[in-house]
Structure formats: C-alpha cells, structure tokens
Chains A and B, each alone.
Chain A
Amino acid sequence: MIDEHTEEVASLYAFDLLEGEEKSAFEQRLAQEPALCTLVNELRAASHGIASLAPLASPSPALRNRVMASVSDPRVPSRSHPLRFVLWAGWAAAAGFALAAASLGHLYLEARTDAVAGRESAAIAKVDAESTRQLLEAERLLSQGQLQSLRLAESRIATLQQQADLAQLKIASLTSLLVDSPQAQAIAVWSTEAQEGILAVVNLPALPANRDYQLWVIDPQYSLPVDGGVFTVEPSRGEARVQFKPKERIAQAVKFAVSLERKGGVAKAEGPMVLISP
C-alpha cells in the first residue's frame, strides 16, 4: 500500500522535481519497492501526455539537412551488420547472460551440466566462447521470427532461472531507471553457496573520471542494501562484466540494483539508482 505522501513524492519525482537528499532517499526506496517503481513509470508515462499541450510547430527545413549530415560519419560501417540491432537490442541480454552464465558455469555448473543444461542454455553458453556461433544462432532465430528483442532474452532467462534453481543460482535481469538510457540493462548471476556472482552490463552511459557505478545486493536481513562493489563501463558500448563479492554475507539475494556514486563507492547508496531487478 502506497500512502498519500509517497504518492506525492512519486509525482514530484516523475517530473524530476526532487533534489538532493529527498531524491536520494526516494531512489533508495525505488530500489527496494517494485510497486513504487511501477507507479513512477506509470506516472512518467502519464506526464508525457502533457506534451500534447505544446502547440505544434515546425523546425526550419535546414535542420533536416543538419541532422542528416551529422549521422553520415564513419561510424556507419561499424553499425552496418544486418544483425547489429538484433545483437544489441534483444540479443544483448542473452549474450550478457551468456557471458555471465558461461563464466559461472566453470564455478558452479560444471558438475551439473548434463542434468540441468537444456538445449537453449547450451546454445547460449557456447556464445561466450564462439562468437561466430553466436552470430549464426542469432541469424537462425531471426529467420524463424523468434527473436523478439528483450522478450526472448527474458524468456530464456526465465527458462534458465528454472534450471539455475536446481543449481542454487539466482539469476536476475536488471532494467534501466534512466530516462536517457532506457536500453541499459544487466544480468546478475549469484550463488549464495559461493557468496559471489557475476554482473554483465550493456548500454550504460560512460562515466566521468570521478564517478563509479556501484552494485547493491538487497537482502531482507539487512536494513540497507549490501555493497557489491564498484565498476565502470567500456565507454563506446557501455559494457562491463564484473565478478563481485558483497561486503556482508548474503542469506537471500532478493534483488540487485546499481547506483551512480562518487569514485571508489560509498558505504550507503547516495546517488541515483540506474538499474534494478524486479
């Protein structure tokens, strides 16, 4: 149940009207309360209806030429593979998961592979070692009309989650809270038994030198999220793959979140949350 005061704060947050500590405190709540997260997303969507109050106007014809000229740079060839969209929109989550899963496989799944790895997980796991195979697999899926971007990746994650339960792994998909980077996403694979995990991230914005991303693990036994360590991303693609060991013993990792913090990280989240798992 969300009380009236929280509704008020959520409304202000949807308009980016919160500042300082009030904003940080609310973002910490967002990291821990999925219902609140959903409410904020709905309020943000509603707020953009207000855009319709803007009288319709036209930019100058020269703007079109200027925009088109700006996108004719030499980066085009690097984007030109016909499966680029597939790889980075839908396949990114699966590939990210594959990176994490394949690595964790060495740690946790080696002895159980035959028992738990289904045909799809096997195909995904091979992606890490065989980039060519990844491409072919993506092409096959595309040709079958099965690749529906993130939906497919999430479906695979759900399947693998079932398998992972057998191996006592927690697999979570983290989605973006960034309005400017809604495509940012991550996969966290966590072993309570080993008290370590792997986080694979794509499409997070690059950071200035004085900032770090910081991973948090939410365990109900602690009143605050547990520090999972800091990381940065490769600037051009916003990618990172990090192995993490939380600062406290985790009994139950119910959620993962990533916040933007000052360099080196903080003991208690202060900055805005950028990614969170359901």
Chain B
Amino acid sequence: MNSVPPASSPAGARNDGEDAELIERVARGDRTAFGALYDRYSRPLYSIALRVLNDAREAEDIVHDVFVALWNKAGGFAAERGTAFGWCVALTRNRAIDRVRARRRRGELLTQSLPADLGHDENRNGNTDSSDALWQKEKAAIVRQALESLPAEQRTALQLAYFGGLTQQEIAEQLSEPLGTVKARIRRGLFRLRELLPDGL
C-alpha cells in the first residue's frame, strides 16, 4: 500500500534543494512555483488530514488553508529550521487535530475506535509511479519499517496520540489501559522511533 512519505520531503532529501528553490520563488510571488509545490505536497498533506479527520471535505479545507499559509509565509520560511514539507506536515496535523478537538467540543463525538486504514483509492486521479514516487515509497518504507518494528501496543498508542486528537485519558480509555501504562508506551515508542529514524528522514 502507498503511504505518506517521511516529513523531510515528499520525494526525499535529494529534492529538498529543489523544494527550497521553489519556496524562494513562491516568496517572490511565483504562482508557477506554487503550483509545483502543490503538486508535490498536496497528496501527502491531504492523506494526513484525511487520516485525522476521516472527512474528505474537511481534509480539503485543511489542505487549502495550509497552502494559503505557505503562500503567505514563504518569505519568512528559514530552511535551516527544517524542510518546507516538514513544516507543512506539522501544520496540517496540528490544524486537523484542532478541528477534531473543536468538533468534539461541539459535542460531535469522534467515535472511531483504533485508527485503521481508511481504504482510499490511492491512484484515483490517474497518479502513476514516477521515479519520484518510487523514491517516496522507498523513504516511506524505511519509516514504516521502523514503526512496524515497535511492539504493537506502542505503535497503536503512538497512532492514537498522533492522529486521534484525543486527551491522554481518552487514549487510555480507548485502549482500556491505565493512564500510566499508556504514558509509558508513548514514551518508549517515541524514543525508540527517534533512535530508529535516520537523521534527515
């Protein structure tokens, strides 16, 4: 199954320089460069938003807002502080989580149990496997391998923490485990992940 590439770049480190060049052009108001960035980033960002929100329309709203933010803030983006794609991933996830929490505050309880693959058609819109896409898959495979090497209970806790928009207590309730156990799993899983993922991936 295809999955979202790692947060360094949608096409790996070899394209980080190209991304930086595109960001510079976007900062100068270059709409063509902005369109190119959209084509690079939109699928992975949409996938993250959809994974969190489980609502295609809301996910598109998030992606729209993230790209508008990217357009408005490209001039202030400092490459030394991380890749543009990493910045977009963080922003997408945070905004999606905020929306989930707002939804929950309005009483529209999110009733999903454990996150599971949503079964989207990965290749609708005619996306094909370009060399970049293959490279993406390789990088994503490394991250997935690292995640899959974690004990299942740690991986599940991390998924809930990242995608769920839940509180600590709600994660514990979802997992039917004591809060202390859940906290320990998150700590062990995240620290292990930090060890397993190569720098810059």
- Residues on A close to B: CB < 8 A? 4, 7-8, 11-12, 14-17, 19, 42-61, 63-64, 66-68, 70-72, 75-77, 79-82, 84-85, 87-90, 92, 148-151, 175-176, 179-183, 185, 202-203
**C-beta contact mask, B34-50 vs A, less than 8 Å → 1, else 0?**
11001100111011101
- Are B93 and A63 closer than 8 Å at their CB atoms? no
B156 CB to nearest A CB, Å: 11
Chain B residues with CB below 8 A from A181, complex form: 73
11 more A-B contacts (CB under 8 A) besides A49-B193, A55-B117, A67-B63?
A11-B186, A11-B190, A45-B7, A50-B147, A52-B140, A59-B56, A75-B72, A79-B29, A89-B76, A89-B78, A148-B80
Q: In the complex, which of the residues B29, B47, B93, B201 contacts A80, with contact meaning CB atoms closer than 8 Å?
A: B29
Q: A7-B187, A12-B183, A151-B80 are in contact. Are A58 and B27 (CB under 8 A)?
A: no
Q: In the complex, which of the residues B2, B28, B163, B190 contacts A85, with contact meaning CB atoms closer than 8 Å?
A: B28
- Are B191 and A11 closer than 8 Å at their CB atoms? yes
Chain A residues with CB below 8 A from B73, complex form: 181, 183, 203
A57 CB to nearest B CB, Å: 4
- Are B190 and A14 closer than 8 Å at their CB atoms? yes
Q: Please measure, in the bound complex, the distance between the C-alpha atom of A141 and the C-alpha atom of B118, giving whole angstroms.
A: 50
Q: A63-B63, A68-B35 are in contact. Are A55 and B48 (CB under 8 A)?
A: no
Stretch at the interface among B11-19, B103-111, B121-129: B121-129
Which B residue's beta carbon lies closest to that of A85? B27
- Are B168 and A12 closer than 8 Å at their CB atoms? yes
Q: In the complex, which of the residues A17, A49, A92 contacts B146, with contact meaning CB atoms closer than 8 Å?
A: A49
Chain A residues with CB below 8 A from B42, complex form: 58-59, 63-64, 67
- Are A57 and B121 closer than 8 Å at their CB atoms? yes
Q: Please measure, in the bound complex, the distance between the C-alpha atom of A84 and the C-alpha atom of B28, giving whole angstroms.
A: 6
The size of the chain B interface, using a CB distance under 8 A, is 86
- Are B31 and A68 closer than 8 Å at their CB atoms? yes
Which A residue's beta carbon lies closest to that of B68? A70
B97 CB to nearest A CB, Å: 7
A271 CB to nearest B CB, Å: 17
Interface of B, secondary structure class, is: helix
Q: In the complex, which of the residues A50, A75, A176, A179 contacts B159, with contact meaning CB atoms closer than 8 Å?
A: A50
- Are B124 and A58 closer than 8 Å at their CB atoms? yes
Which A residue's beta carbon lies closest to that of B76? A183
- Are A7 and B191 closer than 8 Å at their CB atoms? yes
Q: In the complex, which of the residues A12, A49, A183 contacts B78, with contact meaning CB atoms closer than 8 Å?
A: A183
Q: A50-B162, A61-B125, A72-B31 are in contact. Are A182 and B82 (CB under 8 A)?
A: yes
- Are B27 and A79 closer than 8 Å at their CB atoms? yes
Which chain B residues numbered 43 to 65 have a C-beta less than 8 Å away from chain A? 43-44, 46-48, 50-51, 56, 59-60, 63-64
Q: In the complex, which of the residues B59, B72, B168, B201 contacts A17, with contact meaning CB atoms closer than 8 Å?
A: B168
B127 CB to nearest A CB, Å: 6
- Are A16 and B51 closer than 8 Å at their CB atoms? no
Which B residue's beta carbon lies closest to that of A64? B38
Chain B residues with CB below 8 A from A50, complex form: 147, 158-159, 162-163, 193
- Are A55 and B1 closer than 8 Å at their CB atoms? yes
Chain B residues with CB below 8 A from A71, complex form: 31, 34, 67-68, 71
Q: In the complex, which of the residues A46, A64, A151 contacts B197, with contact meaning CB atoms closer than 8 Å?
A: A46
